[in-house]
Amino acid sequence: MPLPFVVDPDDPSIERFVDHVDHAVAVMGIEHVVLGGDFFAQVARAEAELAPASADEFIPITGLAGPEDYPALVEVLRRRGYEGASLAAILGTNLVRFLQHSLPA
């Protein structure tokens, strides 16, 4: 989850988020890791409702405020050694495979 309180409340950066990706890959294997950042706004609203802070005080991960920052995320993943099929897996082919096997025909 690319949210500051999950990634690192003291250093909510894109680099720390990719540290989590690296850890997930090490624990589960590349075939089980995928990004699903299409609910940034919804999660931010939910977080604001649960916490005493207002929605206006929600601060995104530095360098990864939303989908518009995915090119920067891809660059950090590449610097960490994710290329070709590995990078594609994290960015979506794992999710497509999961959905194809999980949803009815």
Cβ 77 vs Cβ 71: under 8 Å: no
Residue recorded with tokens 């995928």: 34
Helices (H), 1-105: 4-7, 14-28, 40-50, 70-79, 84-88, 94-102
pTM: 0.79
Predicted pLDDT at 56: 47
Predicted pLDDT at 53: 52
Q: What is the pLDDT of residues 46-96, one digit of tens each?
A: 666 665 555 445 677 899 887 888 999 999 999 999 999 999 999 999 999
Domain count along the chain? 1
Q: Give 5's pLDDT tier (boundaries 50, 70, 90).
A: confident
Q: What is the pLDDT of residues 20-51, one digit of tens each?
A: 999 999 999 999 999 876 555 556 666 666 65
Domain that holds residue 86: 4-102
